[in-house]
Amino acid sequence: MARYTCSFVLSVSIDNLQPTLVDLLQSTGLNVQYYNADYIMAREFPGTVPFSKLVTVEILIDKTTATETETRMNLVIKNEELPLQLENHCRQVFEFIKQEIESSRHWNLIESIAG
């Protein structure tokens, strides 16, 4: 199973973060299947890649440390594909979503730590 993670600290109110992330994921062609105040789950639409390569995106928003101007969140992107090559489908989607979050005009990126 391929799995890629990244932690972000963003200069944005927690109230504005969740709806903006839902819009961002939808604009990148993902199907947002579930969300609440501190969790978002989205998946790729079937048909473009084999079923085992379909990517699941999870975003966990840390409400316990959030302030009016700063929010932490964790991004987890995974699929059933074995990461036998460095440039696999899951990693490509991870890099794309990570870049979209880092360059979004809706907040200022304070910190990004890929794991």
pLDDT-above-70 percentage for the chain: 100
Flag whether pLDDT at 115 surpasses 80.
Answer: no
Question: Per residue in 45-65, pLDDT tens?
Answer: 998 888 989 999 999 999 999
The per-residue pLDDT for 79 is 95
Query: Minimal CA–CA distance to 59: which of 1, 103, 108, 10?
Result: 10
Q: Is 52 helix (H, G, I), strand (E, B) or coil?
A: helix
Name the DSSP letter for residue 75. Answer: E
Question: Average pLDDT for residues 27-42, to the nearest whole number?
Answer: 95
Q: CB neighbours of 36 closer than 8 A, spacing ≥ 6? A: none
pLDDT band at 106 (very low <50, low <70, confident <90, very high): very high
In the predicted model, what is the mean pLDDT of the chain?
93
Alpha-carbon span 63 to 59, nearest angstrom: 12
Alpha-carbon span 17 to 11, nearest angstrom: 10
CATH topology of domain 2-114: TATA-Binding Protein (3.30.310)
pLDDT-above-90 percentage for the chain: 78
Phi and psi at residue 61, to the nearest 5°:
-100, 125
Q: Is 84 helix (H, G, I), strand (E, B) or coil?
A: coil
Whole-model pTM: value is: 0.91
Flag whether pLDDT at 77 surpasses 80.
Answer: yes
Alpha-carbon span 15 to 31, nearest angstrom: 22
Alpha-carbon span 16 to 46, nearest angstrom: 30
